[in-house]
Structure 1
Amino acid sequence: MRLLVGQDADDAGKLAAGVVLGAVRSNPALVLGLATGSSPLPLYAALAASGADFSGISGFALDEYLDLPDGHPQSYAEVIRTEVTEPLGLDPARVHVPDPHGRDHAAHAAAYDAAIAAAGGVDVQILGVGSNGHIGFNEPGSAFGSRTRVVPLAERTRRDNARFFASPEEVPTQCLTQGIATILEARHLLLVAHGGHKAEAVHRALRGPVTEDFPASVIQRHPQVTVVLDGAAASLLA
């Protein structure tokens, strides 16, 4: 596991972008795993500012809310479009997000995993970490062998994400998420976090026991992990 610490969130974003840019230079047809939330935003901003050519890469989002209408600004399809696809100049046909609108979620989830495999697997998977240890939306108690599926969102996760919505009641209660086993199949995990409110979660993910009660701890078992933090998020690692 490699640890990089920036002075602040923007500096950490530039360090994380350097990891992705190096991978793109080595493989212009890179398959990139896309995370949402606030943690990866400085990374995406730094990638957009780099001026690099991302037109050949493909992207697979980690998750998507259920029960939001098509085009809702907080749906992850919209977030990925506005924060990643358009700023980086990605080909929209190559950017995939779980579809929450079909009737057979289990069949779609299996097809999503199959699409990742058919693309050759994810080369670099961007990850954040939830305050309760979730990666993707794999909440505490998720099996390390889990695949893409529908999961109920923990109340803590819904409270944390309420800042993106007009009211806490608007936060969806379920989502489609890549499973932990799906995530671990990526060749390189790139976990990003910033802010003192993430320090405890980062410490538990990197230094705590590996347990399904804190899903992010499973990254300790992956053979290639880069963790990029700002000083506040890294404050409990000394």
Structure 2
Amino acid sequence: MSMIAPQIFPDAGALGAAFATRLLAQIEEARVAGRRFLLGCPGGRSPRPVYLAMGKLLAERPRSLSHVTLVMMDDYLDSGAQGFEHVPIESHFSCRRFARDEIVGVLNVGLAKADRIPWDQVWFPDPRNPEVYDSRIEDAGGIDVFILASGASDGHIAFNPAGSARDSISRVVPLAEQTRLDNMSTFPDFRTIDEVPSFGVTVGIDTIYRQSKAAVMIVWGEGKREAFSRLAAANAYEPDWPATIVSECRNGEILADRDAAGT
């Protein structure tokens, strides 16, 4: 395997606009061909410029997204009497809330009802039977494009912590302290780390690798310089920086801005 040559953009806005334009063209190609389109989506700060740019382009030139399924990567969990369950969707840190408000809400806002992504086409792994998620994705034909993001200081991807096995699949995991600290920045309404849940449900490393037809890592901002350096230097999966799985993915790409690249 060879290292991925990153594509560098002036800033996060330019990165988001360029990728959004290309992604919407691929989505439209699938619609014309009569195919569904599975888009793998993380929550959080990294993909926001892409979702916002997609929403802007769709407002300017509406087109149908009714054939799009969003395959979400993870969510926080509560531990209840019946086992683990998703945190309430109205929680400020709920990944389901993020998907509803900051992905579906942003993409659908300018579209006719028949052209919108329906909520039942937004998938999450089931914390009570997470391994079924991989089979569900495979049965649907795999993820056409998987948008990826890397933890700033430990390289976690979704909720996969440093040390995650290369062959891991969708599962419930205890959240690493560094992941929980990073997510205090993603969800600034957390006041202390004690408020951040200790468990999450996540796609696995092998889920990302095996189920993606293309994988695009988004890295922007000065805070992601270490992440950029690790990702740009990787030519295979490195367990101490799980986001390096992008180097093994089919059609893997790294899109970064100048702040992250240090240029």
Tell me the TM-score normalised to structure 1 length. 0.91
- The answer to whether the aligner puts 1:182 opposite 2:204 as a matched pair is no
Bigger shift: residues 186-195 or 64-73: 64-73
- The answer to whether the aligner puts 1:36 opposite 2:57 as a matched pair is no
Bigger shift: residues 33-42 or 7-16: 7-16
- The answer to whether the aligner puts 1:88 opposite 2:113 as a matched pair is no
Change (3 A) 1:172 1:193: same
Bigger shift: residues 34-43 or 213-222: 213-222
After superposition, residues 1-238 of structure 1 pair within 5 angstroms as 1=4, 3-28=6-31, 29-51=36-58, 52-67=63-78, 68-89=87-108, 90-100=117-127, 105=128, 108-131=129-152, 132-163=154-185, 164=187, 165-168=189-192, 169-185=194-210, 186-208=212-234, 210=236, 211-235=238-262
% of aligned pairs identical?
34
SS of match in other structure, 1:32: strand
Deviation at 1:217, TM superposition (A): 1.6
Rg larger for? 2
Deviation at 1:174, TM superposition (A): 1.0
CA contact (8 A) 2:8 2:257 kept: yes
Deviation at 1:2, TM superposition (A): 5.5
Tell me the TM-score normalised to structure 2 length. 0.82
Gaps spanning 5+ residues in structure 1: where? Answer: none
May I ask how many residue pairs the two structures share in their alignment? 230
In the alignment, the residues of structure 2 paired with residue 78 and residue 205 of structure 1 have an alpha-carbon distance, to the nearest angstrom, of 29
CA contact (8 A) 2:234 2:247 kept: no
SS of match in other structure, 2:261: coil
Gaps spanning 5+ residues in structure 2: where? Answer: 79-86, 109-116
In the alignment, the residues of structure 2 paired with residue 70 and residue 92 of structure 1 have an alpha-carbon distance, to the nearest angstrom, of 13
Amino acid at match of 1:200: E
Deviation at 1:209, TM superposition (A): 6.3
CA contact (8 A) 2:246 2:253 kept: no
In the alignment, the residues of structure 2 paired with residue 69 and residue 22 of structure 1 have an alpha-carbon distance, to the nearest angstrom, of 35
